C-alpha cells in the first residue's frame, strides 16, 4: 500500500528507507500518545497501536526488511528494563520489605502461571512448549500504569506501599520463570535419548546461572569504571557500552540478557549506592523503548488472531480470550492467598489483585525473544497472544488500579481526608474555618511541589550531565563567557 510511496518518490537507497522508517515510527508513536493521553491510557498502548497502524494490515508503510533487521531492539530495550529492575534490590530495601512482600509476590506471580498452564495444557490440550512459556509470561505485571494512577490520585498507606514493593519484585520473578520455562520448552522440542533430553534441560539452566554470575561481574566492572572524577556524560557512555557488551555476550551464548542485566543493576546499586545513573539511563532510554514497542506492533499477526488461525486445534482467538480472563483470575487469587498467608489487612487482601492486571513491558520483550528463540509457529503465536492481551490489559488496567485504590481507602476526593489539620486549638477552642482552609491549601501545595520535584528527578539528572559536558567542553576556552 503506502510503502509504494517510496517507489513513487524514487527513494531506493536502503539507508534512506531505514532512516525514514525510523522517523515515522518515532513521530507517529509520539503523535499517538497525544490521543491515548486523552483517554488516560499509558504510552505503551499508543506504541503498540502505532505499530499495528504502520504495519502490513493497515497502512503497510514500514518495509518488511526494516522490521527483520531491527530485531536487536528487543535485546537493547530489555537490557535497559532489566538493569533498572536491579535498582530495587538493595540490601537495605530487602531487609525493610521483609519476607511478607516476597511471599505475596511469589503467590500472585506463580498462581497466575499455574492457572494459565492448566487452561492451555490440560483444558485446551496445547503442546507443552507453548503452554509452559505462555504460563511463565502470565506472571509478569506492568507497573507503569499502576504507578501513574498512584501519582494521579496521591494515594498513600499500607496498600500503596505493599503494591509498589510487589510490582518491583514481580519482574524479577517473571524473568526467572521465563528462563526456566524456555529451557524446558527447548528441551521438549529436541529429540534424542533420555539422558540427552535431561542434559537439554539442565544445560540452559546452567548457562542462565552462569550469565547471572557474569552479569554480577559486569556490575562490579561498571563500578570500577565510575570513579568520582568521571564526568556524567562519560558515565552515560560507559554504562551504555557495558550494557551493550553484555547483550552481545549473551547473544553469543544464545541466552536472554535479562537475568544478567538485572544482576548487573543489583550489584552496581549495592556496591556504589549510586541511583543517579539509573535516573540518567531511564531518561535516555524512551526512544529505544518506543521503537521496540512500535516494532512489536509491526510484527503483530492480526490476520492469524481474527481470521481463524489456530494453535493446535484451538482457534487463536479462543486461546487469547481464555488467557486474558484466566490470568486476571490467577492474579487476583494469588494476591489474595499471599496476603492471607502473610496476614495482611482485609483492605490489602481483598483489592491488591485488581491493581496487578496490567501487562506490557517485560512480557512483550520476553515474547519477542521467545518468537526469535522458538521461531515461526509456537514463537510467533505466543507473541501474537501477548501483544493482543497487553493492549486490552493496558486499557482496563488503570481503571482497575484506581478502583482498588478507592476501595482500599488509599485516597479520597474529600478535602478533609487529603490533609491533616487540627480544627481545634490546644485550649480546646474551635479554629476559624478560613484559617483551617488556608492551612489545608498550604499542605496540598507543599505535597504537589514535592511530587513534581520527584517526577523531574530523571530529567534533572540528565540535564546535569549535559551541563557538565558543556562546561568541560567549553570552559577552558570560554571561561570568561561562562562565568559571566
- Tell me the per-residue pLDDT of 388-423, one tens digit each, with 9 for 90 and over: 787 778 677 767 877 888 888 777 655 455 455 666
pLDDT by residue (tens digit) across 162-196? 787 787 678 778 877 887 888 788 777 765 544 45
> Each residue of 53-86: pLDDT tens digit?
888 778 888 887 888 788 788 778 878 877 877 7
Strand partners, 310: 315
- Tell the CATH topology of 72-407: Na+/H+ antiporter like fold (1.20.1530)
Supply the pLDDT for residue 473.
Answer: 47
**Using only C-alpha atoms, what is the Rg of the chain?**
24
Residue 449: pLDDT band with limits 50, 70, 90: low
What is the rounded CA–CA span in Å between residue 150 and residue 401? Answer: 8
C-alpha to C-alpha distance for 204 and 178, rounded to whole angstroms: 12
Nearest to residue 275, comparing CAs of 97, 89, 453?
89
**Statement: residue 152 has pLDDT above 80:** no
Answer yes or no: are the C-beta atoms of 70 and 12 closer than 8 Å.
Answer: no
Distance of CA 348 to the CA centre of its chain: 23
Q: Which of 62, 68, 66 is nearest to 1 (CA)?
A: 62
The model's pLDDT over 457-477, given as tens digits with 9 standing for 90+, comes to 545 555 555 555 445 544 444
Q: How far apart (Å, rounded) are the C-alpha atoms in residues 451 and 319?
A: 42
- Comparing CA positions, the residue from 253, 259, 249 lying closest to residue 207 is 253
> For position 346, what pLDDT does the model report?
86
Closest CA relative to residue 100, chosen from 310, 341, 308, 328? 341
Task: Round to the nearest angstrom and report the end-to-end CA distance of the chain.
Answer: 57
List every span in the chain annotated with CATH 1.20.1530.20: 72-407
Only one residue has cell 563567557, namely 481
Asked if residues 139 and 342 have their Cβ atoms less than 8 Å apart, the reply is: no
Amino acid at each position: 500500500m503506502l510503502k509504494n510511496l517510496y517507489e513513487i518518490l524514487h527513494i531506493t537507497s536502503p539507508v534512506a528507507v531505514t532512516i525514514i522508517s525510523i522517523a515515522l515510527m518515532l513521530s507517529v508513536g509520539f503523535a499517538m500518545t497525544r490521543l491515548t493521553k486523552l483517554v488516560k491510557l499509558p504510552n505503551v498502548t499508543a506504541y503498540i497501536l502505532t505499530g499495528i497502524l504502520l504495519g502490513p494490515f493497515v497502512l503497510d508503510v514500514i518495509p518488511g526488511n526494516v522490521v527483520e533487521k531491527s530485531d536487536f531492539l528487543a535485546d537493547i530495550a530489555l537490557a535497559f528494563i532489566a538493569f533498572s529492575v536491579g535498582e530495587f534490590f538493595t540490601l537495605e530495601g530487602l531487609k525493610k520489605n521483609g519476607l511478607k512482600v516476597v511471599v505475596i509476590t511469589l503467590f500472585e506471580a506463580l498462581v497466575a502461571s499455574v492457572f494459565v498452564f492448566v487452561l492451555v495444557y490440560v483444558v485446551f490440550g496445547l503442546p507443552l512448549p507453548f503452554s509452559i512459556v505462555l504460563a511463565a509470561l502470565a506472571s509478569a505485571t506492568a507497573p507503569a500504569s499502576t504507578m501513574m494512577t498512584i501519582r494521579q490520585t496521591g494515594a498513600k498507606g499500607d496498600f500503596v506501599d505493599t503494591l509498589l514493593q510487589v510490582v518491583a519484585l514481580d519482574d524479577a520473578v517473571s524473568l526467572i520463570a521465563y528462563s526456566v520455562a524456555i529451557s524446558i520448552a527447548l528441551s521438549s522440542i529436541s529429540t534424542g535419548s533420555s539422558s540427552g533430553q535431561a542434559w537439554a534441560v539442565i544445560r540452559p539452566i546452567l548457562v542462565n546461572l552462569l550469565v547471572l554470575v557474569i552479569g554480577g561481574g559486569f556490575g562490579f566492572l561498571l563500578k570500577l569504571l565510575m570513579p568520582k572524577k568521571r564526568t556524567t556524560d562519560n558515565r552515560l557512555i560507559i554504562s551504555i557500552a557495558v550494557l551493550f557488551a553484555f547483550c552481545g555476550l549473551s547473544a553469543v551464548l544464545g541466552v536472554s540478557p535479562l537475568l544478567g542485566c538485572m544482576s548487573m543493576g543489583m550489584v552496581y546499586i549495592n556496591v556504589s549506592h549510586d541511583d543517579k545513573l539509573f535516573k540518567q539511563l531511564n531518561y535516555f532510554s524512551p526512544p529505544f523503548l518506543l521503537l521496540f514497542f512500535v516494532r512489536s506492533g509491526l510484527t503483530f499477526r492480526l490476520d492469524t488472531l481474527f481470521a481463524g488461525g489456530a494453535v493446535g486445534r484451538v482457534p487463536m482467538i479462543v486461546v487469547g480470550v481464555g488467557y486474558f480472563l484466566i490470568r486476571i483470575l490467577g492474579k487476583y487469587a494469588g494476591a489474595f492467598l499471599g496476603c492471607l498467608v502473610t496476614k495482611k489487612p482485609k483492605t490489602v487482601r481483598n483489592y491488591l489483585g485488581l491493581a496487578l492486571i496490567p501487562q506490557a513491558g517485560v512480557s512483550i520483550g520476553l515474547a519477542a525473544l521467545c518468537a526469535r528463540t522458538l521461531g515461526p509457529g509456537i514463537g510467533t503465536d505466543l507473541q501474537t497472544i501477548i501483544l493482543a492481551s497487553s493492549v486490552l490489559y493496558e486499557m482496563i488496567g488503570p481503571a482497575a488500579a484506581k478502583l482498588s485504590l478507592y476501595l482500599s481507602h488509599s485516597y479520597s476526593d474529600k478535602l478533609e481526608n487529603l490533609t491533616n489539620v487540627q480544627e481545634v486549638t490546644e485550649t480546646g477552642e474551635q479554629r476559624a474555618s478560613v484559617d483551617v482552609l488556608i492551612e489545608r491549601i498550604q499542605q496540598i501545595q507543599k505535597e504537589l511541589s514535592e511530587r513534581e520535584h520527584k517526577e523531574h528527578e530523571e530529567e534533572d539528572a540528565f540535564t546535569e550531565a549535559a551541563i557538565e559536558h558543556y562546561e568541560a567542553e567549553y570552559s577552558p576556552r570560554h571561561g570568561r563567557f561562562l562565568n559571566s
